Chains A and B, each alone.
Chain A
Amino acid sequence: MDIDDILASVDRGPGASPESAALDHQQLTRFWIAERAVSEVLPWPAPLMERMMDRVRLQIETIEDLAASSVDTNPSHNSTSHNPNLNLRLSILQTDLARTQYIIRSLLRARLAKLTKHSMHYLVQLASRNKNPLSSASQSQSQSQTQSSASTANVSPEDSVPDISALTDTTPLSGPETSFVHAHQTLLAGHYGASFLGAFPRQLRRLDDNAGGTSMVQGPELKEVVFVRCLAAQVNCLMEGEGDGVDGEDGLGDEIGVTMRMGDVWVVRWDGVRKAWERGKWNCCNV
């Protein structure tokens, strides 16, 4: 394919190539549907969203310029033949802008809803993946832990909120989402502490307790069903083996289940097609 053309269009900056605008719009729409369909937060498509936000900004400027020009020219000379068309163009541009903004807003709100529902889960996930012995995050965390174990009083639920201030890789969340979810959980922990956890014995105050082998941090249910359309020649639906953990060896215990063919629409469990979705978003899409 003409990959050079695409690279060239990237060089021209965002919004330069009309075809890329259409493609980005289709990708955004597909990502929005996927985000609405699955129960976990999907990896944040940072480059795509940056391009979209730039385009929206440019489009708003274009609309403002057009509107200003219509106000300017109206009283000075009555160009009645041109004006209805200008109004039509303005209304088309504004409708298009509103539609795009609706998708972006709905996407962000859906993500926020998932984040607030399982905030502790995502914080723990972020903190566990970014374990770096030299980072200040783990230092301060261990500091707080030694402090809490040493001092007899003042164990508050806030201590169990992982410190993520030094994170560099925040996938699947975006930067602002990460700080939001941390602030949210800190507030929540403070509230719990003030309202009832403060009255509990010290060892029962943590929010990430996993005594008895059961973690009290609840995550999203990955086994819920989704509706997908297969876009590649064929995609296998997997039964995930129990052997592979979060970052363990990939596909050790996977059993191949049903095979979807191109153009098929299936009801499958999200954990079955998740890998196919992650490996390449062209393999299948949610409907």
Chain B
Amino acid sequence: MAFPLPRGIVASEIAFLAEMETVTVVPRQRLEGLELLGGPIEPLVPPRRASLPLWLALLLKRQRRANIIPPSWLHPESLSLILEVESQHQDYKNAFSPPPPLPGQPSVRDQGLEPTARPQYTLDGNRYYAAPPFLPQNTAQTTVSSGEPPALPFHWIEVGNMLLDSASDDLMDPGQIRRLLKDLREVRMAKMRSGVDVLDDAAMGGGGVALTGVGAMELGDERGFLSGVVDGLRKIGASKEQARREQLAEQRANGGYNGTQDEEEDYMEF
């Protein structure tokens, strides 16, 4: 077979993607800048912080050439705050805590505002908006943006675990962080499971189920189950959907006389 893996990226591929996240390091030795295929790497000059992709930061960390500054969310205080929101807060009984906003996206508190994202342009002239893992969601912030609540980035499980494995000496109280990550994962897993009831919406044409705030690895765990359930429901509900289509088409046919003739011809084909 040309390709053995199932449809939808699997756990190892998600971990691979998470390694493209950008983290902040403090280098211990000099290294001149490099032109990589994934983009340029800034020169490393020891006391100065630098932003590197996670795979490179881990490579340098294992060789004791750099220290990783953990992202602000990977801290016992932030994590317990998120856990509290996740488990106690009324608004998030059945939803995940809000993810960090995309650039230009209004934050949770000022919902009414229009997004003000500015696109980049690709070489083919298309507009391009960056998305995780290519957003600085895991860098250490130099200025603490006041009032912005801590949020779990898209690749939180993977980044958290990789940093715990390879750079636990750079973290504040790794044991506590490990416990909190596990608690968070369990709380959110329970939400994911309890959401199965509404999956019927996604099986209908035009419908969907929101999973905003979900993490990449959580999606990866449930991808096979969710898509299996939805596909099963879709097959069961196919006649229901057909009936709804016919009803809608009928409404449209009754709405105006101009198009009636044509649309009736359309039906005849079926």
Given known A99-B55, A265-B214, contact A233–B115 (CB-CB < 8 A): yes
Q: How far is the CB of A252 from chain B (nearest CB, A)?
A: 9
- Which residues of B are found within 8 Å of A93, using beta-carbon distances? 34, 36
Assess whether B91 is interfacial by the CB under 8 Å rule: no
Selected interface stretch from A67-75, A147-155, A168-176, A279-287: A279-287
**Which residue of A is nearest B33, CB measured?**
A18
B131 contacts A30, C-beta separation under 8 Å: yes
- Which residues of B are found within 8 Å of A18, using beta-carbon distances? 35, 39-40
**Which residue of B is nearest A266, CB measured?**
B208
- Which residues of A are found within 8 Å of B128, using beta-carbon distances? 23, 26-27, 281-282
Q: Which of B96-114 contact A (CB under 8 A)?
A: 99, 101-102, 105, 114
Assess whether A183 is interfacial by the CB under 8 Å rule: no
- Determine the distance from Cα of A135 to Cα of B235 in the docked complex, in whole angstroms: 42
Quick one: which of A26, A262, A272 contacts B208, CB cutoff 8 A?
Answer: A272
**Which residue of A is nearest B242, CB measured?**
A242
**Which residue of B is nearest A24, CB measured?**
B123
Assess whether A182 is interfacial by the CB under 8 Å rule: no
Q: How far is the CB of A49 from chain B (nearest CB, A)?
A: 11
- Determine the distance from Cα of A285 to Cα of B127 in the docked complex, in whole angstroms: 13
Cβ contacts A44-65/B at 8 Å (1 or 0 each): 0101100110011001001000
A10 contacts B123, C-beta separation under 8 Å: yes
Quick one: which of A36, A106, A282 contacts B127, CB cutoff 8 A?
Answer: A282
Q: Which of A253-287 contact B (CB under 8 A)?
A: 253, 255-258, 260, 262-269, 271-272, 280-282, 285, 287
- Determine the distance from Cα of A56 to Cα of B37 in the docked complex, in whole angstroms: 7
Q: Give chain B's interface residue range (CB within 8 Å of chain A).
A: 35 or more
Assess whether B157 is interfacial by the CB under 8 Å rule: no
Majority-rule SS of A interface residues: helix
B17 contacts A240, C-beta separation under 8 Å: no
Q: How far is the CB of A207 from chain B (nearest CB, A)?
A: 20
Assess whether A216 is interfacial by the CB under 8 Å rule: no
Q: Which of A235-261 contact B (CB under 8 A)?
A: 237-243, 253, 255-258, 260
Q: How far is the CB of A152 from chain B (nearest CB, A)?
A: 35
Interface size on A, residues (CB 8 A): 87
Quick one: which of B7, B206, B210, B231 contacts A256, CB cutoff 8 A?
Answer: B206
Give the 3 A-B CB pairs with smallest separation, nearest first: A257-B206, A22-B39, A239-B206
Q: List 29 A-B contacts (CB under 8 A).
A: A1-B118, A22-B38, A24-B123, A25-B37, A25-B39, A36-B8, A37-B9, A38-B7, A89-B31, A95-B55, A96-B37, A99-B38, A109-B3, A113-B1, A113-B2, A225-B226, A231-B102, A231-B131, A239-B205, A243-B263, A257-B206, A258-B201, A262-B102, A265-B213, A266-B209, A267-B202, A281-B128, A282-B126, A287-B216
B residues sitting closer than 8 Å to A (CB atoms) are 1-3, 5, 7-9, 13, 16-17, 20, 30-32, 34-41, 55-56, 59, 63, 65, 99, 101-102, 105, 114-115, 117-131, 133-134, 154, 199, 201-214, 216, 219, 223, 226-227, 230-231, 234, 245, 248-249, 252, 263, 266, 270
A residues sitting closer than 8 Å to B (CB atoms) are 1, 3, 6, 9-10, 18-27, 29-30, 33, 36-39, 45, 47-48, 51-52, 55-56, 59, 62, 85, 88-89, 91-93, 95-97, 99-100, 102, 106, 109-110, 112-113, 115-116, 223-227, 229, 231-233, 237-243, 253, 255-258, 260, 262-269, 271-272, 280-282, 285, 287
